[in-house]
């Protein structure tokens, strides 16, 4: 089979006639509590169990972790899992332990004595899965120690970090390629939710020397409506959007910790239960806010990218980007946290010139080589192209990942298509004023010159005497800003990062000034969406899960089950979703099992969780509503 074959061929080759299939399904059912695999999982598991390397690109929420956890349980020896974030490691280890699996982590979030104890247990054969950050794994001492143990496999979680995190930021991710040489014959599985073809090839080359079986599942999430709006008054835009989703859970992503706090306070002042989440908060406060988000209805999490990895909340109704993400991959991963129940959800992004400048600055400030910076600028260019797409956004998004979809009918490009107009004359005027002012000034000053503003700055630089002064007075400042932004996205202009944000003309722009080509631009539409009352009614009609529309009584039971889940989580010092994911609680509220045998049929209830939690959950389910109120 050729490398990187399509998913159908890969599944057939990997799973056909697998002699361990019965064992695989037994572990799936008895340990993890699931009756069947999600698409792609079994093929990846079979490949790893056969001792072959695998690169799995699976959408957020598709169950990537089982692809290495089941092989680890069915193989002799120690499975080493490489993960980028301490919080993610802690949550996964806690979830495995609750399922009766011998798992542990060695990382900076532990006391030294805990790390020593974890290593001794692993070295003695008492651990099946050991989680580590790449910085801890890729030391000479740790590699030498592991070579003395029967290592069964290496799992590289969030594998896109190998390609997308620069060598100055996480250099040990690039060093993971040494594992194949240091541990010959030990299979390596790399997993990620988001990787375009260039990133996949980069991972394959760095980690597997170009030789690996690739499993790429479809990227489409058709229930998520995609919209992008020019950033104008971002606070008003955020509030107007969030108020359409009364009593619904959402995530708002911000670039900075300060803005995260500001947005949470802004929404709270409008009566929306919004909580901040960022790396500058204490671990206790982050955990409390995360538990509230997972357990209580209508909570909005306002977060930096520190929030989201490993979170499995089914009923997030929207993801709102208050700032431009880093790349198409980052954007896709972040919006993938919405609508995991299959019901309608929205992904809305604001972006403007300041976002572009800020992202360019981040790339230039990174202590990395020229090739790395060039690649990151290209990734940002791809995101800007998505933002400025005049047609179906889903087509633009999925084509980036190598798919060829048809227009979706569920994005602003399809529902409210932007009018396209010939802006060649306006573009040449912008290029002229940029050139006449010396390519030193930002968009705001160029717009003031074009509109003939009587300002001290214009007079000081004598820009009221150039022939382009007031030549664009008939257009609004918003219109000129939109044109400049789209010219930057089209590569006619660029933001001079070293020159403090001045607008400069590119080579392509200079060709355009000589009359070569045309510039078509999209007129920015201001979309208000459906009225608030209509939106509220729509939410009442939407099911929590496609097969589990809940009655009012069942909704009340679900609230009690979530409260119980939080109590159990706090008793054990773990996040709420580690006890059971939302979909398990929703299924409990819908089917209302009365016995342990019936409870065992709930998705996500394995043998150990049945033993540990059945009694308390059944007591809550079997209690009459009046009894539950008295217990509260």
Read off the pLDDT of residues 219-236 as tens digits, 9 standing for 90 and up.
888 999 999 999 989 999
Lowest mean pLDDT among 63-77, 328-342, 453-467: 328-342
Q: Which residue has the higher pLDDT, 523 or 139?
A: 139
Cβ-proximal residues to 304 (8 Å cutoff; 6+ apart), any chain:
253, 254, 255, 256, 257, 260, 277, 278, 279
Instruction: For residue 553, count CB atoms less than 10 angstroms from its CB and return exposed for 0-12, middle for 13-18, buried for 19 or more.
Output: exposed
Strand partners, 346: 225, 318
- Asked which of 34-43, 376-385, 464-473, 526-535 is least confident by mean pLDDT, the reply is 526-535
Q: Is the pLDDT of residue 7 over 60?
A: no
pLDDT tens digits, one per residue of 358-384: 998 888 887 777 877 888 888 888 898
18 pLDDT band (50/70/90 cuts)? low
Using pLDDT thresholds of 50, 70 and 90, give the confidence band for residue 417. Answer: confident
As a whole number of angstroms, the distance between CA 431 and CA 440 comes to 13
The better pLDDT of the pair 470, 342 is held by 470
The Cα 204–Cα 201 span in angstroms is: 5
For residue 498, the model assigns a pLDDT of 63
Look at residue 414 in the predicted model and tell me its pLDDT: 93
Q: What is the pLDDT of residue 376?
A: 84
Position 420 pLDDT exceeds 90: no
Query: What was the pLDDT predicted at 11?
Result: 36
Contact in structure between 334 and 253 (CB atoms under 8 Å): yes
When pLDDT is cut at 50, 70 and 90, the band that residue 310 belongs to is: low
The string of pLDDT tens digits covering residues 103-143 is: 999 998 889 999 999 999 999 999 999 999 999 999 999 99
In the block, tokens 């799995």 appear at 56
Q: Percentage of the chain surpassing pLDDT 90?
A: 58
444's CB contacts (< 8 A; 6+ apart) are none
629 pLDDT higher than 70? no
pLDDT at 432 over 50: yes
Average pLDDT over residues 41-58: 95
Q: Which residue has the higher pLDDT, 226 or 167?
A: 226
Question: Average pLDDT over the chain, rounded to whole?
Answer: 86
Instruction: Give the tens place of pLDDT for each residue, 475-500.
Output: 999 899 889 988 988 889 988 766 66
Q: Which whole number is the average pLDDT over 450-456?
A: 95
Largest CA distance in the chain: 86
Query: What's the whole-number mean pLDDT along residues 442-461?
Result: 94
pLDDT for 177 beyond 80: yes
Q: What is the CA radius of gyration of the chain?
A: 27
Is residue 191 pLDDT above 80, yes or no?
yes
Question: Which residue is it, tokens 């620069």?
Answer: 166
Instruction: Quote the pLDDT of residue 526.
Output: 46
* Cα 331 to Cα 42, 142, 158, 338, distances in angstroms: 28, 35, 15, 12
pLDDT band for position 345 (50/70/90)? very high
**Complete domains list, the chain, with CATH:** 7-216 (3.40.50.300), 224-415 (3.40.50.300), 420-522 (1.10.10.10), 545-631 (1.10.150.80)
Model confidence pLDDT, tens digit, residues 56-89: 998 776 688 999 999 999 999 999 999 988 878 8
pLDDT of 2 higher than 60: no
Task: For residue 57, give Cα distances in angstroms to 158, 240, 311, 328.
Answer: 10, 35, 18, 15
pLDDT at 528: 43
Task: Note the residue count of the chain.
Answer: 632
Cα angle: 205, vertex 206, 210; to 5 degrees: 20
The answer on pLDDT for 535 being more than 50 is no
């Amino acid at each position: 089979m050729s490398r990187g074959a399509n998913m159908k061929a890969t599944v057939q080759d990997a799973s056909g006639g697998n002699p361990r299939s019965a064992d695989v399904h037994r572990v799936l059912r008895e340990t993890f509590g699931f009756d069947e695999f999600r698409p792609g999982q079994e093929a990846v598991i079979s490949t790893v169990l056969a001792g072959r390397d695998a690169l799995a690109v699976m959408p957020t929420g598709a169950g990537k972790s089982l692809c290495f956890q089941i092989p680890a349980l069915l193989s002799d020896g120690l499975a080493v899992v490489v993960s980028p974030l301490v919080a993610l490691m802690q949550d996964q280890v806690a979830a495995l332990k609750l399922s009766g699996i011998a798992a542990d982590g060695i990382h900076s979030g532990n006391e030294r004595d805990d790390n020593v104890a974890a290593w001794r247990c692993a070295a003695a054969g008492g651990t099946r899965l050991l989680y580590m950050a790449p910085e801890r794994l890729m030391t000479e001492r740790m590699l030498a120690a592991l070579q003395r143990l029967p290592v069964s496999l290496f799992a590289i979680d969030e594998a896109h970090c190998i390609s997308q995190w620069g060598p100055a930021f996480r250099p040990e991710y690039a060093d993971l390629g040494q594992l194949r040489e240091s541990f010959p014959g030990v299979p390596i599985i790399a997993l990620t939710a988001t990787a375009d073809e260039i990133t996949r090839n980069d991972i394959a080359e760095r980690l597997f020397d170009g030789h690996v079986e690739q499993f790429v599942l479809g990227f489409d999430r058709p229930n998520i409506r995609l919209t992008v709006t020019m950033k104008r008054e971002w606070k008003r835009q955020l509030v107007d959007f969030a108020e359409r989703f009364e009593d619904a859970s959402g995530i708002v992503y911000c670039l900075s910790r300060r803005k995260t706090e500001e947005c949470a306070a802004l929404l709270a002042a409008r009566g929306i239960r919004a909580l901040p989440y960022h790396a500058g908060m204490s671990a206790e406060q982050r955990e409390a806010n995360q538990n509230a988000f997972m357990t209580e209805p209508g909570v909005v999490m306002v977060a930096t990218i520190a929030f989201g990895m490993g979170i499995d909340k089914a009923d997030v109704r929207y993801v709102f980007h208050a700032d431009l993400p880093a790349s198409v991959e980052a954007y896709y991963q972040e919006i993938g946290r919405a609508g995991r129940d299959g019901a309608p959800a929205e992904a809305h992004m604001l972006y403007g010139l300041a976002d572009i400048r800020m992202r360019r600055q981040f790339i230039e400030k990174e202590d990395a080589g020229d090739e790395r910076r060039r690649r990151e600028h290209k990734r940002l260019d791809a995101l800007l192209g998505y933002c400025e797409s005049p047609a179906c956004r889903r087509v633009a998004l999925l084509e980036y990942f190598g798919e060829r979809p048809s227009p979706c009918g569920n994005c602003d490009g399809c529902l409210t298509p932007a009018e396209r107009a010939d802006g060649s004359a306006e573009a040449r005027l912008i290029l002229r004023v940029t050139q006449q002012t010396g390519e030193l000034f930002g968009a705001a000053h160029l717009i003031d010159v074009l509109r003939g503003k009587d300002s001290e700055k214009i007079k000081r630089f004598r820009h009221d005497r150039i022939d382009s002064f007031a030549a664009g007075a008939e257009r609004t400042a918003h219109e000129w800003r939109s044109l400049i932004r789209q010219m930057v996205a089209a590569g006619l202009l660029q933001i001079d990062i070293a020159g403090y944000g001045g607008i400069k003309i590119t080579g392509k722009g200079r060709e355009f000034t000589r009359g070569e080509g045309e510039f078509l631009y999209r007129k920015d539409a201001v979309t208000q969406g459906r009225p608030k009352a209509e939106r509220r009614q729509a939410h009442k009609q939407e099911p929590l899960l496609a097969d589990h529309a809940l009655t009012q009584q069942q909704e009340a039971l679900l609230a009690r089950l979530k409260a119980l889940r939080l109590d159990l989580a706090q008793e054990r010092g773990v996040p709420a979703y580690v006890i059971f994911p939302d979909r398990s609680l929703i299924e409990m509220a819908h089917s209302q099992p009365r016995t342990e045998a019936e409870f065992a049929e709930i998705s996500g209830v394995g043998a150990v969780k049945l033993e540990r939690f059945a009694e308390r959950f059944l007591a809550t389910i079997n209690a009459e509503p009046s009894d539950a109120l008295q217990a509260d």
